[in-house]
Amino acid sequence: MLNPLADDLDYVLERTGELWEDLRRSRLFVTGGTGFFGCWLLETLLWANRRLGLRASATVLTRDAEAFRAKAPHLAEDQAVELHQGDVRSFPFPKGSFSHVIHGAADTSVERHSRQPLAVLDTLVEGTWRTLNFAVHCGAPQFLLLSSGAVYGRQAADHVDENCDTAPDPANARAAYGEGKRMAEQLCACYRRTYGLETKIARCFAFVGPYLPLDAHFAIGNLIRDGLNGDTLVIQGDGTAVRSYLYAADLMVWLWTILLRGEAGRAYNVGSENGLTIRDLALAVAAQIKPRPPIRIEGKAQPGRAPDYYVPSTCRARNELGLDAGVALDESIRRTRKWAGLPASARPCPAGEPEPVALPRADP
C-alpha cells in the first residue's frame, strides 16, 4: 500500500536535499516523539532512510510504548526505531552514544495548564534539564529544543520577531507553559556555555496537517473535525483572534534545517507570516465542505479590545536558512481533511515503501 503521505514526504526530501547526508548512519534521541511533531519527525526520517539509504536510527522516549504501537504501528515497529519507556523528567539513560538530540516533550493540554500549572512547569524545566544532561552524557554534539511562540507572552505587534523582549506575566499561573519554555531556552544557553553543546532553538507557532489532534484545543483542528462530522463550525471565542498556520511538511523542512544548518545558540521563529482571524479561518474551512456548513461564534467581541495576535516574523529563518512556507493554507486544510477522513486501514504501513532515489541539493 502506498503511504498516503508519500507526496508530502517526497516534498520534504526535495526541499532539504543534501542535508540528509549529515544524518547518514546517525543515531538520534527524540523526546516528544509520539505526538504531532514526533510522528512527522519519524515519518520523514524513515522515508529518508528508505529513499536515500541513510541507515539512521531513532530512540524515542515515550511514557506508554504500547499506546504508541497502537497509534502508529508502522513507525513503532520500524527496525530503525527503538522505543524507550520513561518519564522525561526521570528517564533512565539509554546506552551508547548519540549524534543528535531533539527535545520536544511538553504537555500542551490547556486544561492541564489551567488546573495543574506546577506539573506543566515541572515537565518543561525538569524534562529539559534531564534531556540536556543526557545529551552531555551520551556525547551528542547537536541539540534541538522545540520551544514555542508562547515565550513572548501576549504579542504587542502583529509579527513578533526573535529580538522581542516581551514575556509572559510571571504573576499569572496560567503562564506556566510560556515561562517553562523560557526556562528551557535558558537551560540550553547555559549548557552551551558550560559544556559546548550545540543547542539550537525552534520557537514554534501554529500548524496544521495530518496527525494534528482534532479534539484538542487547536482551533483549526476543531473546525476541520466539525466539518468532517457535518456539524456547524463552532468558534469558542469572538472570532477576532489572529493566527497563522504552517503546514506540517513545511514544518519538517524547517525543523530539520534548523537542526542541521542553524546557528548554535540561536533561536528561530517557526511558522507562517500569513495571519488571519479565526472567523476567516472558519470561512476557509467551510469553503471546502459541501453543502457549506454554518458558522457559529459563541463569544462576543469587546469594543476597544485589541485583537489577540499569535503570528511570527520569520525574517531570520528566511534570510539565514532560506526557509519559506511552500504549501498554501487552503491546500493545507484540504490535505488535513483528506487524511482525517481516511479509514484506519488506509493509514501508512511498513509496506508502503518508496523506491530509492538520489536527490539534488537544496541550496539554502
Quick check: is 292 in a domain? yes
pLDDT score, position 351: 36
C-alpha 358/C-alpha 364 separation (Å) is: 18
Instruction: For residue 40, give the DSSP letter.
Output: H
Local structure of 166: helix, strand or coil? coil
Closest CA to 235 of 141, 308, 169: 308
- Which CATH number characterizes residue 238's domain? 3.90.25.10
Local structure of 103: helix, strand or coil? strand
Quick check: is 312 in a domain? yes
Q: Could you report the per-residue pLDDT of 132-169, keeping only the tens digit for each? A: 999 999 999 999 999 999 999 998 778 999 999 899 99
The dihedrals phi and psi of 290, each to the nearest 5 degrees, come to: -125, 130
Quick check: is 7 in a domain? no
Quick check: is 198 in a domain? no
In 33-133, at which residue ranges do the beta strands (DSSP E only) sit? 57-62, 81-85, 100-103
Strand partners, 277: 242
Q: Tell me the residue range of the domain where 309 lies.
A: 208-245+273-340
- Which amino acid does the sequence have at 99? S
272 contacts 338 by C-beta, under 8 angstroms:
no
CA–CA distances in Å: residue 87 to residues 28, 105, 111, 124, 362: 18, 10, 20, 12, 37
Question: Which has more confidence, 114 or 140?
Answer: 140
Concatenated DSSP letters of 275-337 = -EEHHHHHHHHHTTSSSPPPEEE-S-PPTTPPP-EE-B--HHHHHHH-----S-HHHHHHHHH
Strand partners, 102: 30, 144
* Residues above pLDDT 90, as percent of the chain: 82
29-52 mean pLDDT: 97
Q: Could you report the per-residue pLDDT of 210-261, keeping only the tens digit for each? A: 999 998 889 999 999 999 999 999 999 999 999 999 999 999 999 999 999 9
User: Which region, left, alpha or beta, applies to residue 28 given φ > 0 means left and ψ of -120 to 50 means alpha?
Assistant: beta
Local structure of 235: helix, strand or coil? strand
Local structure of 50: helix, strand or coil? helix
- With cut-offs at 50, 70 and 90, classify the pLDDT of residue 345: low
Quick check: is 226 in a domain? yes
Quick check: is 345 in a domain? no
Domain count, the chain: 1
C-alpha 14/C-alpha 3 separation (Å) is: 17
Pick from 130-134, 171-175, 188-192, 272-276: least confident: 171-175
- With cut-offs at 50, 70 and 90, classify the pLDDT of residue 108: low
pLDDT score, position 156: 73
pTM of the model: 0.93
Residue 109 has pLDDT above 70, yes or no: no
Pick from 60-64, 115-119, 302-306, 317-321: least confident: 302-306
Quick check: is 213 in a domain? yes
225 contacts 215 by C-beta, under 8 angstroms:
yes
pLDDT score, position 3: 86
- Which amino acid does the sequence have at 316? R
33-58 mean pLDDT: 97
Quick check: is 237 in a domain? yes
Sign of CA dihedral 267, 141, 258, 113: negative
pLDDT score, position 347: 59
